Amino acid sequence: MKVLVVDDDALSRKMLEKIISTLAEVTSVDSGVSAVLTFSQALEKSTPFDVITLDITMPGLDGMGALQEIRKIEKTKNLSKDKQTKIIMVTAHSEKHMVLSCIKMGCDDYIAKPFDKDIVLNKFKGFAAAKSSEKSGSDVEQKVQQIVRRFKEGKISLPVLPRIVQDVQAIIKEPHSTMDHLAQVIEKDALISMKLIATANSPVYRGAEKIQSISTAVQRLGYKETQSIVSAIANKGLYIAKHKQFGKLMEKLWYHSLASAYGGRAIAQKSGYGDVEKAFFMGLVHDIGKALIIKALDEITPTNKEVDETELIAILQDVHTRFGAVLLKHWGFADEFSQVALLHEGQDISDKTPKEILMINLASNLARRIGYSLFDMEIDLASITSARFLRLNPGLLSTITENVKQQLSEARDTFQDF
Ligand SMILES: [Fe+2]
């Protein structure tokens, strides 16, 4: 903590310095003018004083005058209240009536002369404690920082990409693969098989007869659609938390991902850029970094403890992109997937940005627009830069939006119990 002591009386200065020096780094000056100058120089160097004690009565610019000047400077710098220097007026007994005017001018506290060592010490201890809690951050911030640190050191165990997703991806890449191959791979996973059959029998896909085998399910759903559904179901397993509050966030995040997947697919279709199923999969995994952080938080937070959710969401927003990029790389996805995870928030978008990043940026905004998001936001999709670079006009955008809305409400029924 940095403190500036301002007093024209050398003895008072020395006494204050002595008391405070156990808690802070102290500078002292003997006039109002020097006080303002020293204050603004420190501010310019970005090493501002945390506290200034101002003697009220000084020749030339007095304490009140210095207080006004300092607050004026802070105002021109647009410093918020919590960034302003704490100012303590130092008053002789006869000046107590002036304290009220000083408070109106923006001082924070006062101390009386002659100094009572304990009172002064306690006040400064209070300032020091406030400063250190500000520095060390809130509970959730500390936890995320801990996770970020462990992540950088490679100490966070990364979740495993479900085997079935890898296998299905491999089959799709294989040029001579058939629907039977696909069915054989899916059959190896009993849980996914069950869910896929349930999906094929859901109102959205239901045909004349009830399906009971994977091969007929794959036929009814089609090759690509099967891949999308299997990926979606398998991915959902990554969005689970023990903690009730995190469980709810994961659920929202999962729907945000699914909406972004449908959005990515619809945008790829309508814009004519890129591989439609790849866009679906990119949408599905673009925010996987958030799931990874929530999962790590879930492990270190007692189940009965709630965290500040608004703050958590803001912090996630800040750090998730790097986490996602690293996880996707670890899973062996092509670089373009990591790039999507890293850049989908639309930071540096230009006409040179790869189309899939533009598509997923737009898709995740579309998901927000229709209410599938961790936070509410009014968004005009047509005004988003990525929509412009993809040459999607407002009419096309609203068609896509309606499509995705429809698909999501159907998907909610399909995926509800998974
Ligand atoms: Fe994101």
C-alpha 364/C-alpha 286 separation (Å) is: 9
pLDDT recorded at residue 160: 77
- Whether residue 135 has pLDDT greater than 60: no
Give the burial string for 213-241 (b: 16+ CB within 10 Å, else e): ebebbbbbbeeebbbbbbbbbbbbebbeb
Distance 327 CA to ligand 1 centre (A): 14
Residue 4's contacts (CB-CB under 8 Å, 6 or more residues apart) are 26, 27, 28, 29, 35, 38, 39, 42, 49, 51, 52, 53
pLDDT recorded at residue 174: 81
List the one residue out of 177, 198, 175, 195 whose CA is nearest residue 186. Answer: 195
Categorize the per-residue pLDDT at 361 as very low, low, confident or very high, splitting at 50, 70 and 90: very high
pLDDT recorded at residue 360: 96
Which DSSP helix (H) or strand (E) runs through 198? helix 190-200
Q: Which residues pair with 29 in a beta bridge?
A: 6
- Whether residue 236 has pLDDT greater than 90: no
Distance 243 CA to ligand 1 centre (A): 22
pLDDT recorded at residue 356: 94
Distance 328 CA to ligand 1 centre (A): 14
- Write out the two tokens for 21: 């020096």
Per-residue pLDDT tens for 294-321? 999 998 888 888 888 888 888 888 889 9
Distance 287 CA to ligand 1 centre (A): 5
- Whether residue 130 has pLDDT greater than 80: no
Distance 286 CA to ligand 1 centre (A): 7
DSSP classification of residue 94: G
Distance 283 CA to ligand 1 centre (A): 10
- Whether residue 230 has pLDDT greater than 80: yes
Per-residue pLDDT tens for 251-308? 999 999 999 999 999 999 998 887 888 899 899 999 999 999 999 999 888 888 888 8
- Write out the two tokens for 323: 């986490």
Distance 74 CA to ligand 1 centre (A): 36
**Hey, what CATH topology would domain 2-136 get?**
Rossmann fold (3.40.50)
Where residue 154 falls (left for φ over 0; alpha for ψ -120 to 50; beta otherwise) is left
Categorize the per-residue pLDDT at 52 as very low, low, confident or very high, splitting at 50, 70 and 90: very high
Angle at alpha carbon of residue 264, lines to 177 and 285, rounded to 5°: 75
pLDDT recorded at residue 389: 92
Distance 321 CA to ligand 1 centre (A): 7
Distance 65 CA to ligand 1 centre (A): 50
Distance 70 CA to ligand 1 centre (A): 42
Which one has a higher pLDDT value, 205 or 401? 401
Distance 256 CA to ligand 1 centre (A): 9
Distance 301 CA to ligand 1 centre (A): 23
Mean pLDDT across 52-80: 93
Mean pLDDT across 216-241: 85
Q: What is the CA radius of gyration of the chain?
A: 30
Pairing assessment for the beta strands 86-91 and 109-112 based on DSSP bridges:
parallel
List the one residue out of 158, 242, 237 whose CA is nearest residue 192. Answer: 237
pLDDT recorded at residue 71: 95
Mean pLDDT across 394-415: 86
Per-residue pLDDT tens for 202-213? 777 777 778 888
Distance 414 CA to ligand 1 centre (A): 24
Cβ neighbours of 114 (radius 10 Å):
8
List the one residue out of 253, 183, 188 whose CA is nearest residue 220. Answer: 183
Distance 28 CA to ligand 1 centre (A): 49
Distance 349 CA to ligand 1 centre (A): 15
- 29 and 6 Cβ atoms separated by less than 8 Å: yes
pLDDT recorded at residue 368: 92
End-to-end CA distance of the chain: 54
Give the burial string for 149-187 (b: 16+ CB within 10 Å, else e): eebeeeebeebebbebbebbbebbeeeeeebebbbebbe
pLDDT recorded at residue 209: 79
For the chain, give every residue range classified as CATH 1.10.3210.10: 143-159+238-415
Q: Which residues pair with 351 in a beta bridge?
A: none
Of 133-137, 195-199, 349-353, 373-377, the range with the lowest mean pLDDT is 133-137
Percent of the chain's residues with pLDDT above 90? 40
CATH superfamily, with its number, for domain 143-159+238-415 = Hypothetical protein af1432 (1.10.3210.10)
Mean pLDDT across 237-260: 91
Percent of the chain's residues with pLDDT above 70? 96
For the chain, give every residue range classified as CATH 3.40.50.2300: 2-136
CB-count burial class (<10 Å; 0-12, 13-18, 19+) for 321:
buried
- Whether residue 157 has pLDDT greater than 90: no
Of 158-162, 286-290, 411-415, the range with the lowest mean pLDDT is 411-415
Distance 61 CA to ligand 1 centre (A): 54
pLDDT recorded at residue 332: 84
Number of continuous H segments (helices) and E segments (strands) in the chain:
19, 5
- Whether residue 418 has pLDDT greater than 60: no
Which one has a higher pLDDT value, 360 or 305? 360
Distance 80 CA to ligand 1 centre (A): 29
- Whether residue 221 has pLDDT greater than 60: yes
Categorize the per-residue pLDDT at 136 as very low, low, confident or very high, splitting at 50, 70 and 90: low
Residue 331's contacts (CB-CB under 8 Å, 6 or more residues apart) are 161
> Looking at this protein, which amino acid is placed at residue 374?
L
- 135 and 97 Cβ atoms separated by less than 8 Å: no
The overall average pLDDT reported for the chain is 87
CA distances from 279 to 123, 282, 301, 306, 328 (A): 59, 5, 35, 36, 15
Distance 281 CA to ligand 1 centre (A): 15
Angle at alpha carbon of residue 142, lines to 159 and 374, rounded to 5°: 60
